[in-house]
């Protein structure tokens, strides 16, 4: 078996340059050349995982099949590569320290002083290579979170230095993503910040092999030469990453810069064939050429930060390309919704998605929105808390169960239609204690869910504590809200839908976590399809000039 080669992606000058997208794009190109490749992210914070962080801190928490709560970049990896990631694809400083401290308590280092070097760096190096063991990956790309020079990323850079020294540059490559600012006053692009960030890397003993330069304007040949000279890299290894209109264009832009070719030649690997990007290009074409635009309302409480709903937004992009349309998402803060303004808030929408979430804030607004779309027969899709709110709304207004609620919000409700599972009742700690990861779900024949998936049993990912209360199941079914997806083992209700409605579905799981460019998630595809029909019937459609 060939040895696994490693590529590290570091960032300089500024955060938010898109290391995740760059890593995913490079991985895509290598995959399209026939390599088996995966990506992992190392985050320098002390939380064990982002599961306990507020979305405003960290954006969406992405959940893997094996139930890890991870960084949202893993979502990009899956959407680009169309292969699942796992717990091992996201490592945090918190996890590294926890392992080392547990070993220390067990006595594994008995007699020794436990230190950042070598104990923490040894643990990091182990984890750099963990995915290489037994998985047959030819190439592993590791994205190091943060920016070089940050105190907290130092142990990662040091581990990288050691690994590169041990394995040699042809087995362990460093791609440095940096930023070339344009100074308006001077009318010029400036390379100095990049020179400094490479110097910072050099101070820690790491020479980058390739520079990828984020820029708003094209970089001249002379500038590439200058950067090459000052940063000790070959001129063909200075790549331009000019701003593009969508993240899905980045693989194509990096292919034009020959990033994949340069990487493979440095790793002394054969080019095999040209990357087969035909499916990707087809997707990109559809993304840019559509005949209609529809607006879907996203009702949630983190509406000021679109990153909180990253996977939902991307799923709409994927689903739009399958329906020859562009989906504009209108964010509606659930807290701002009242009975008086609901009609106005919903005006012009062809569908409404009620988002996942935790806690009381904005709940009544979500319920108000659901009552409106149910009664007005506007396509509806509720995810997790959104599904739970649909159940509460139906209980209150159709079953006439006054005060029906979820015990998450009202512990004393007379009708706990959403309630805590038995095994959650004794749970005191917060991190990693929800129902997490992929569970099977059996779909009812002839239901909307069954028609959407075209399958009996599906696997979808969960992240929640509360559940549909099965004591009320018959009452709901008799009144027209059908539990159409059931966990075959625990008998928990995973999907509800309303028969007498053009499109009304709620899922306890998070379908948005499994939508990829190659395989758009089917509920999103059908929801958008229903929204397009609704908009045609109600003259909401905006036709795009040919
Ligand atoms: N707060 C709800 C629960 O814990 C829903 C969670 C979610 O929407 N992800 O069950």
Residue 545 pLDDT exceeds 70: no
pLDDT digits (tens, 9 = 90+) for 239-269: 999 999 999 999 999 999 999 999 999 999 9
Q: Tell me the mean pLDDT in the region 307-330.
A: 96
Q: How far is the CA of 431 from the centre of ligand 1 (A)?
A: 14
Atom 6 of ligand 1 has which residue's CA nearest to it? 464
Residue 97 and residue 120 in contact, taking contact as beta carbons nearer than 8 Å: yes
pLDDT digits (tens, 9 = 90+) for 419-478: 987 766 666 666 667 889 999 999 999 999 999 999 999 999 999 999 999 999 999 999
Q: How far is the CA of 339 from the centre of ligand 1 (A)?
A: 24
From the CA of 467, give the closest atom in ligand 1: 10
Residue 544 pLDDT exceeds 80: no
Our answer to whether residue 213 is catalytic in this structure is no
Atom 8 of ligand 1 has which residue's CA nearest to it? 356
Q: For ligand 1, is residue 300 a contact (CB within 6 Å)?
A: no
Our answer to whether residue 393 is catalytic in this structure is no
Q: How far is the CA of 362 from the centre of ligand 1 (A)?
A: 14
From the CA of 359, give the closest atom in ligand 1: 1
Atom 3 of ligand 1 has which residue's CA nearest to it? 464
Q: How far is the CA of 183 from the centre of ligand 1 (A)?
A: 46
**Mean pLDDT score of the chain, rounded to an integer?**
94
Residue 158 pLDDT level (bands cut at 50, 70, 90): very high
pTM (two decimals): 0.94
Residue 143 pLDDT level (bands cut at 50, 70, 90): very high
What is the structure's pLDDT at 255? 97
Q: Position of tokens 């914070």? A: 45
pLDDT digits (tens, 9 = 90+) for 175-208: 999 999 999 998 899 999 999 999 999 999 999 9
Atom 5 of ligand 1 has which residue's CA nearest to it? 385
Q: How far is the CA of 509 from the centre of ligand 1 (A)?
A: 9
Residue 55 pLDDT level (bands cut at 50, 70, 90): confident
Q: How far is the CA of 358 from the centre of ligand 1 (A)?
A: 5
Name the residue of 67, 385, 432 whose CB sits within 8 Å of the most ligand 1 atoms, as the mutation to test its pocket: 385
Closest Cα partner for 521 from 318, 325, 383?
318
Residue 293 pLDDT exceeds 80: yes
Q: For ligand 1, is residue 385 a contact (CB within 6 Å)?
A: yes
Residue 542 pLDDT exceeds 80: no
From the CA of 408, give the closest atom in ligand 1: 1
Atom 1 of ligand 1 has which residue's CA nearest to it? 358
Residue 32 and residue 82 in contact, taking contact as beta carbons nearer than 8 Å: no
The DSSP-derived string for 180-223 is --EETTTTEE--HHHHHHHHHHHHTT---SEEEEEESSPPPHHH
Q: How far is the CA of 372 from the centre of ligand 1 (A)?
A: 22
What is the structure's pLDDT at 428? 65
What is the structure's pLDDT at 54? 82
From the CA of 434, give the closest atom in ligand 1: 4
The DSSP-derived string for 308-341 is GGHHHHHHHHHHHHTTTEEEEEEEEEGGG--TTT
pLDDT digits (tens, 9 = 90+) for 397-421: 999 999 999 999 999 999 999 998 7
As a whole number of angstroms, the distance between CA 208 and CA 202 comes to 8
Reading the block at residue 48, the tokens are 């064990």
pLDDT digits (tens, 9 = 90+) for 59-112: 899 999 999 999 999 999 999 999 999 999 999 999 999 999 999 999 999 889
From the CA of 466, give the closest atom in ligand 1: 10
Q: How far is the CA of 498 from the centre of ligand 1 (A)?
A: 21
Q: Tell me the mean pLDDT in the region 517-527.
A: 97
Question: Out of 384, 389, 462, 497, which one is annotated catalytic?
Answer: 384
Q: For ligand 1, is residue 408 a contact (CB within 6 Å)?
A: yes
What is the structure's pLDDT at 502? 95
Q: For ligand 1, is residue 465 a contact (CB within 6 Å)?
A: yes
Q: For ligand 1, is residue 384 a contact (CB within 6 Å)?
A: yes
pLDDT digits (tens, 9 = 90+) for 360-381: 899 999 999 999 999 999 999 9
From the CA of 386, give the closest atom in ligand 1: 8
From the CA of 463, give the closest atom in ligand 1: 9
Q: Looking at the DSSP assignment, which residues form a beta bridge with residue 495?
A: 485, 507
Our answer to whether residue 57 is catalytic in this structure is no
Name the residue of 355, 383, 388 whose CB sits within 8 Å of the most ligand 1 atoms, as the mutation to test its pocket: 388
* 411: Cα within 13 Å, side-chain hemisphere: 1
Reading the block at residue 71, the tokens are 């960084």
Write out 401-467 in H/E/C secondary structure: CCCCEECCCCCCCCCEEEEECHHHHCCCCCCCCCEEEEEEEEECCCCHHHHHHCCCEEEEEEEECEE
What is the structure's pLDDT at 50? 85
Residue 390 pLDDT exceeds 70: yes
Q: For ligand 1, is residue 466 a contact (CB within 6 Å)?
A: yes
**Which range is least confidently modeled, 16-20, 54-58, 223-227, 304-308?**
54-58
Question: Out of 138, 460, 512, 529, which one is annotated catalytic?
Answer: 512
Q: For ligand 1, is residue 362 a contact (CB within 6 Å)?
A: no
As a whole number of angstroms, the distance between CA 252 and CA 29 comes to 8
What percent of the chain lies above the pLDDT cut of 70? 97
Pairing outcome for strands 69-70 and 5-11: unpaired
Q: How far is the CA of 408 from the centre of ligand 1 (A)?
A: 9
Question: Out of 318, 464, 501, 510, which one is annotated catalytic?
Answer: 510
Q: How far is the CA of 434 from the centre of ligand 1 (A)?
A: 9
Q: For ligand 1, is residue 464 a contact (CB within 6 Å)?
A: yes
What is the structure's pLDDT at 15? 86
What is the structure's pLDDT at 1? 58
């Amino acid at each position: 078996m060939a040895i696994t080669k490693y590529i590290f992606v570091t960032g300089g000058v500024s955060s938010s340059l898109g290391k995740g997208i760059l890593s995913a794009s490079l991985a895509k190109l290598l995959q399209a050349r026939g390599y088996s490749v995966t990506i992992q992210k190392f985050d320098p914070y002390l939380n064990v995982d982002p599961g306990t962080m507020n979305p405003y801190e960290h954006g969406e928490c992405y959940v893997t099949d094996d139930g890890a709560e991870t960084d949202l970049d893993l979502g990009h990896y899956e959407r680009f590569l169309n292969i699942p990631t796992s717990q091992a694809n996201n490592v945090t400083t918190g996890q590294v320290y926890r392992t080392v401290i547990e070993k220390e308590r067990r006595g594994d280092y008995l007699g020794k002083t436990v230190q950042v070097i070598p104990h923490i760096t040894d643990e990091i190096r182990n984890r750099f290579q963990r995915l290489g063991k037994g998985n047959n990956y030819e190439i592993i790309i590791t994205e190091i979170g943060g920016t070089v020079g940050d105190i907290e990323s130092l142990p990662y850079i040091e581990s990288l230095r050691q690994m590169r020294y041990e394995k040699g540059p042809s087995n362990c490559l460093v791609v440095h993503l940096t930023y070339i600012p344009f100074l308006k006053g001077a009318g010029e692009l400036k390379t100095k910040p990049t020179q400094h960030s490479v110097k910072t890397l050099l101070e820690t003993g790491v020479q980058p092999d390739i520079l990828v330069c984020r820029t708003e304007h094209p970089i001249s040949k002379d500038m590439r030469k200058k950067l090459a000279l000052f940063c000790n890299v070959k001129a063909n290894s200075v790549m331009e990453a000019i701003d593009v209109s969508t993240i899905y264009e980045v693989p194509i832009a990096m292919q034009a810069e020959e990033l994949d070719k340069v990487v493979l030649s440095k790793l002394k690997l054969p080019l095999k064939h040209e990357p087969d990007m035909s499916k990707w290009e087809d997707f990109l074409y559809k993304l840019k050429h559509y005949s209609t635009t529809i607006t879907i309302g996203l009702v949630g409480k983190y509406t000021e930060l679109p990153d909180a709903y990253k996977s939902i937004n991307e799923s709409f992009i994927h689903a739009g390309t399958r329906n020859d349309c562009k989906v504009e998402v209108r964010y509606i803060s659930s807290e701002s919704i009242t009975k008086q303004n609901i009609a106005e808030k919903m005006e012009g929408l062809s569908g409404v998605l009620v988002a996942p979430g935790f806690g009381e804030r904005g709940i009544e607004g979500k319920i108000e929105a659901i009552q409106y779309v149910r009664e007005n027969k506007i396509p509806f899709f509720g995810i997790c808390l959104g599904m739970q709110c649909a159940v509460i709304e139906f209980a209150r207004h159709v079953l006439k169960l006054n005060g029906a609620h979820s015990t998450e919000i009202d512990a004393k409700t007379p009708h706990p239609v959403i309630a805590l599972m038995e095994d959650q009742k004794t749970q005191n700690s917060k991190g990693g204690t929800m129902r997490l990861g992929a569970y099977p779900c059996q779909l009812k024949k002839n239901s909307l869910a069954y028609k959407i998936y075209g399958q009996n049993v599906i696997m979808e990912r969960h992240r929640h504590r509360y559940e549909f209360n099965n004591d009320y199941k018959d009452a709901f079914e008799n009144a027209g809200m059908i539990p159409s997806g059931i966990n075959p083992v625990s008998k928990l209700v995973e999907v509800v839908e309303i028969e007498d409605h053009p499109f009304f579905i709620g899922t306890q799981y998070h379908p948005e976590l499994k939508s990829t460019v190659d395989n758009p998630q089917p509920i999103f595809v059908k929801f958008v399809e229903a929204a397009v029909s609704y908009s045609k019937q109600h003259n909401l459609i905006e036709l795009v000039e040919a």
